[in-house]
Amino acid sequence: MIEPTATRMPLQTGATAKLRRRMLNPFLMRGFFLTKLPLALVAGLRLQELTEERCVATVPYGWRSTNPFRSTYFAALSMAAELSTGALAMAAVQGAPRPVAMLITGLTASFEKKATGLTTFTCTEGPRLFAAVAQTIATGEAVAVEVPTVGTSSDGVVVARFTFTWSFKVRK
């Protein structure tokens, strides 16, 4: 089990601060989406908050993200959920003293209510991700950590729950 009390680099200093500023800048994030994740740009994903502890990402309901059943398409929900965990994972890797590779090795999802409006995914597992990166650097072994994120509608009702398994390994 990954202990969340391990040393981590705060998002207010160094390379992680630069990454945080870029990711929270709507113009720069759209450029990132355009070059690396064009479907996220088309779907209208937005990063609302990124701290050491949590990340908040949103996906709107609309013609770009809807399915024939008049709800947000599960793939659009999955992209926003992954962004809420992946931004924290990227911050943890960016702040590492050595190069670290990151990869999703597992995913589980449950859909609890029809998403018919803006869906907000919140991941509060930043400390566990930073600890996993610290552990892989300390041991040289690959470390996997399961990271949950919860998607809610604008009225606070849970729409979906995702758990991503992120694997970290020190690059040779």
The residue extents of the domains of the chain are: 14-170
Q: What does the pLDDT read at residue 16?
A: 75
pLDDT band at residue 5 under the 50/70/90 scheme: very low
Above 90 in pLDDT, residue 172?
no
14-170 adopts what CATH topology?
Thiol Ester Dehydrase; Chain A (3.10.129)
pTM of the entire predicted model: 0.87
pLDDT in tens, 11-66: 555 777 878 888 888 888 888 888 888 898 888 999 999 988 999 999 999 888 88
DSSP string of the chain?
---TTS----TTSHHHHHHHHHHH-HHHHHHHHHHH-HHHHHHT-EEEEE-SS-EEEEE--STTTB-TTSSB-HHHHHHHHHHHHHHHHHHHHHT-SS-EEEEEEEEEEEE-S---S-EEEEE--HHHHHHHHHHHHHH-S-EEEEEEEEEE-TTS-EEEEEEEEEEEEE--
Q: What is the pLDDT of residues 100-155, one digit of tens each?
A: 999 999 999 999 999 999 999 999 999 999 999 999 999 999 999 999 999 999 99
